[in-house]
Structure 1
Amino acid sequence: MTGAPRIAVDAMGGDRGPATTLAGAALALQRLPELRFTLFGDEAVLGPELSRHAELAAAAEIVHAPDAVAGDEKPSQAIRRARTTSMGLAIDAVKRGTADGAVSAGNTGALMATAKLALRTMAGIDRPALAALLPTIGDRDLVMLDLGANTECDARNLVQFAVMGAVYSRIVVGLAEPRVALLNIGAEEMKGTESLRDAAQQLRAADHLPLDFIGNIEADRLGRGEADVIVTDGFSGNIALKTMEGTARFVTDLLKSAFRSSLRSKIGFLISRPATELLRHHLDPNNHNGAVFLGLNGIVVKSHGGATPAGFANAIGVAVKLAQADISRLVANDLANVRRDVAEPGRGAAA
C-alpha cells in the first residue's frame, strides 16, 4: 500500500454500537496519527457521535448506510442486504480499493460470508481461515487458525493455514521464524488423521519457508508458549478456543468466589490484588482483539462484539499492520516456495 492507510469501519456493529466503534477509532488515531477512516452507518446517528471526537472528525468521512446487520441475522440474509448495510458497504470499500482494510465488531458468520463472497479467496488458497491471537504464559501471544471457518480440512488446507498463520505471526507478533505446530491428539509423528500426517510431511519438506515446523502439539499445551502458530481445522479449533475462554472465566470466577468466602480471604485478596490484576489484564480479550479472515483478496478484521474502545483500537491496529506489510504478497511468495519444496524434495539440502 502507498500513502496513509485508510480503514473502513462498520460503525454500527458490535454490542455497544457507534459509541464504542468511534471511540476506538479515535484511540487508534491517537496511536497512529497518519490513519484515515471511512465510517459506515446511519449518518443521523454517527454525526453527533463523531462530533465528540474532533481529531477523528478531521480524519474521517461518513458514508451513510441505511441498514445494519443484526447479531442473530443469518449469513444468507446479510449477504442479500450487503449493498445497504454498514458491514457490507465497509467490505465493498476494500473490494473497490478505496480502503486498505475493514474492521467490524458485528455478526461473525455474516461478516465471514459477506467477506468471502465479495473478496473471494486469493490465488493459491483453497479456503480462507479465521485466525486470532491468544494469550500464553510465555512472553508473546500465539496465532491459532482455523477457528471456525472450515469444519473439515485436508492436508493441503492445513499447509496453507500454516503458511498464512506464519506470515500473520511475522507481521503482527514480529517473529522472524515462528514455531508452527499442528494440533493433534499426541506429539508423536504417527498420531492423528491421515490429513494431519500428510500435512506434517509437507511442512517438514518445506525447507525454504521462514518458519520452524516443530511437529504436533496437544491441546493441554496450547497456553504454554511452546509454539507461536497452532494449525487445526475449524471444528477442532473452535472447540479449543471456546474451552480456553471458558476455562479462563472459570478460574477468574473461582478466584472471586474464594476471595469472598471469609474475612481472612478478603484480606488475602487485598494482599494479592496486584497479582490478580495482572492475571485479569493478561486474560482480557481486549488486549488480544482482532481476528482475521486470512486468504482473501483483501483485509477484514473481526473485533469482539463486546470489545471496549481500547479493544476495538487494537483490532484496527491489526488491520493497519497487515495492510502496511502487504500480507497477500507475502503469503503468495511462501506458497510458491511450498510448491517447489514439495515438488523437489531435498532441494534445500542440495543447496
Structure 2
Amino acid sequence: MPSPILISLDAMGGDHGPSVVVGGVRDYRKRHGGEGVRFQLHGDEAAIRAEMAKCDLADDVCEVRHTDKVVSMEEKPAQAMRRGKGSSLWNAIDAVKHGEAAAVVSAGNTGALMAISKLLLRMSAHGLERPAIVASWPTFRGVTAVLDVGANVESDAEQLVEFAIMGEAFHAAVHGVARPTIGLLNVGSEDMKGHEEVREAARLLREGGFGLDYKGFVEGDDIAKGTVDVVVTDGFTGNIALKTAEGVAKFIGALTKEALTSSLLAKAGAALAYPALKAMSAKIDPNAINGGPLLGLNGIVVKSHGGATAAGFGAAIRIAVDLARSDYLTKVSDSLNRLTTVLEQPATPGADAAMETSQ
C-alpha cells in the first residue's frame, strides 16, 4: 500500500462532477484532517483545477490525471466495459488494480462501476457473481450494515456466508465495532423458518468456526432496531427492504412537514422544536451515511450516491480511507479460505435428519 494512502477519485461521476468531488476532498480534510492521505483525481483537468482553486487545494494534496472520456450515467454496463477504457471511471479503478491507489471512490454509473471493477480487479470469492453492495442503515443503536442490497438477486447458502464474512469485516473497519454481531434476515426468528438456503447458511455460520458473533435469524423490523450490527440477505430482498425504507422515510418526512406548517400554532411549535428536529434530521440524512462499498473484489471500491453533496462525497471518502487503513482485505481473505475448507468437509451424519425432525 502506498504511503501516504492514495485515494483514487472519479472526478466526473455523479450528477455534479468535479464541484462535488473536489468539494468532498475539502470536506473530508476539514472533518478528519489531511495527514497521511492524498488524492488522485481523474477527469477534465481544467474543470478539476478550477474547483481546486475554489477549495484552496494544491498539488501536494490532489494529483490530477487528465482524460476527456466519461462514462455517462445512462450507459449500459456492457457498453461501459466495451467503450469505457480511458474514461475517468476506468482510469480511477485501474489505479487500484496497478497498486497506485489504495481505494477508489465514484459517484458515477453504478452498473458501469460494478462491471468495470469486476473486470479489472476480479472477485475475491469464486462463488460470487457480482460484488455485494452494503448499505449503512441508521438505527436506534447507531448504524447497521445491511448486505446485499441489490447486486446479487439470488444467493445460495455459501454466498450468504460470504456476505456475513465481508459485512463483519466492513463494520469493524468503518464503524469501529470490535466484534460485530450478525443476523440472517428471515421471515421469522425460529430455526425452522425460511427457505433451504437461508437455513443452510445459518448452519454454516453456527458450525463453521469462522469466529463470527452470529446471533441467528432476524426479521425486517430488527434492522431499524439495531438488533444486530450486520444484517445479511440476498440482493433481491435487501433492495426491496432498502427502497421500502427510503419511501417510508420520505412519506413520513412529507407528512411531518405538512403537519408542522399547517397553521400558525403548528409553525410556532415547529420553531420551538427546531433543535430536536434538526438533530433527528442529521441522524437520518443520507449524506451523513453516504458511501456503499462493493464488497468481494480484490480491491476497495466505494460507490457514492450520484446526487450526493460535497459533505456526502466526503463521507464516502472517509469509508474508503478507513477500509484502506484496516486489515479488511486480509481478514476477508482468511475467512473465505476457511469457508472453502468447511465446504470441502463431508456433511455430519444425521445432520439433515435432525434438521428435518426440527421442522
Partner letter of residue 121 of structure 2? L
Give the equivalent residue in structure 1 for 2:162: 160
Give the equivalent residue in structure 2 for 1:294: 295
Give the equivalent residue in structure 1 for 2:133: 130
- Cα distance in 1 for partners of 2:295, 2:44 equals 29
Aligned runs of 1:157-236 on 2, under 5 Å? 157-209=159-211, 211-236=212-237
Give the equivalent residue in structure 1 for 2:327: 326
Give the equivalent residue in structure 2 for 1:65: 67
Give the equivalent residue in structure 2 for 1:29: 29
Partner letter of residue 215 of structure 2? I
Q: Which moved more, 1:45-54 or 1:249-258?
A: 45-54
Partner letter of residue 183 of structure 1? L
SS of residue matched to 2:293: strand
Instruction: Tell me, yes or no, if the aligned pair for 1:8 and 1:37 is still in contact at 8 Å.
Output: yes
- Report the CA distance between 1:2 and its aligned residue: 4.8
Q: Which moved more, 1:257-266 or 1:117-126?
A: 117-126
SS of residue matched to 1:213: strand
- Report the CA distance between 1:345 and its aligned residue: 9.0
Give the equivalent residue in structure 2 for 1:91: 93
TM-score by length of 1: 0.93
SS of residue matched to 2:172: helix
Write the deviation string for residues 129-177 of structure 1: whole angstroms up to 9, x where unpaired: 1112110011x21111101111011000000000000010111111122
- Cα distance in 2 for partners of 1:179, 1:46 equals 42
Write the deviation string for residues 291-333 of structure 1: whole angstroms up to 9, x where unpaired: 0111101111001111111111111111111111132111012
Give the equivalent residue in structure 1 for 2:82: 80
- Cα distance in 2 for partners of 1:344, 1:330 equals 25
Instruction: Tell me, yes or no, if the aligned pair for 1:81 and 1:88 is still in contact at 8 Å.
Output: no
Change (3 A) 1:79 1:340: closer
- Report the CA distance between 1:51 and its aligned residue: 2.0
Give the equivalent residue in structure 2 for 1:117: 119
SS of residue matched to 2:84: coil
SS of residue matched to 1:8: strand
Partner letter of residue 207 of structure 1? G
- Cα distance in 1 for partners of 2:125, 2:339 equals 14
Partner letter of residue 70 of structure 2? A
Instruction: Tell me, yes or no, if the aligned pair for 2:2 and 2:102 is still in contact at 8 Å.
Output: no
Aligned runs of 1:245-324 on 2, under 5 Å? 245-324=246-325
- Cα distance in 2 for partners of 1:12, 1:268 equals 43
Give the equivalent residue in structure 2 for 1:349: none
- Report the CA distance between 1:56 and its aligned residue: 4.3
Q: Which moved more, 1:280-289 or 1:30-39?
A: 30-39
- Cα distance in 1 for partners of 2:342, 2:5 equals 35
Aligned runs of 1:131-146 on 2, under 5 Å? 131-138=134-141, 140-146=142-148
* Percent identity between the two aligned chains: 46
- Report the CA distance between 1:202 and its aligned residue: 0.4
Give the equivalent residue in structure 2 for 1:10: 10
- Report the CA distance between 1:21 and its aligned residue: 0.5
Q: Which moved more, 1:221-230 or 1:120-129?
A: 120-129
Point out where structure 2 has 5 or more consecutive residues left out of the alignment.
349-359
- Cα distance in 2 for partners of 1:146, 1:267 equals 43
Partner letter of residue 22 of structure 1? V
Give the equivalent residue in structure 2 for 1:20: 20
Partner letter of residue 136 of structure 2? L
Write the deviation string for residues 191-242 of structure 1: whole angstroms up to 9, x where unpaired: 1110000000000113341x31111111122100101001011111111111
- Cα distance in 1 for partners of 2:337, 2:60 equals 43
SS of residue matched to 2:249: helix
Write the deviation string for residues 15-54 of structure 1: whole angstroms up to 9, x where unpaired: 1211111010122234232211110001122122222233
Partner letter of residue 48 of structure 2? L
- Cα distance in 2 for partners of 1:236, 1:114 equals 25
Instruction: Tell me, yes or no, if the aligned pair for 2:41 and 2:64 is still in contact at 8 Å.
Output: yes
Change (3 A) 1:45 1:51: same
Partner letter of residue 269 of structure 1? A
SS of residue matched to 1:230: strand
- Cα distance in 2 for partners of 1:142, 1:56 equals 37
Partner letter of residue 138 of structure 2? P
- Cα distance in 2 for partners of 1:275, 1:99 equals 41
Give the equivalent residue in structure 2 for 1:244: 245
Change (3 A) 1:202 1:70: same
Instruction: Tell me, yes or no, if the aligned pair for 1:124 and 1:332 is still in contact at 8 Å.
Output: no
- Report the CA distance between 1:272 and its aligned residue: 1.5
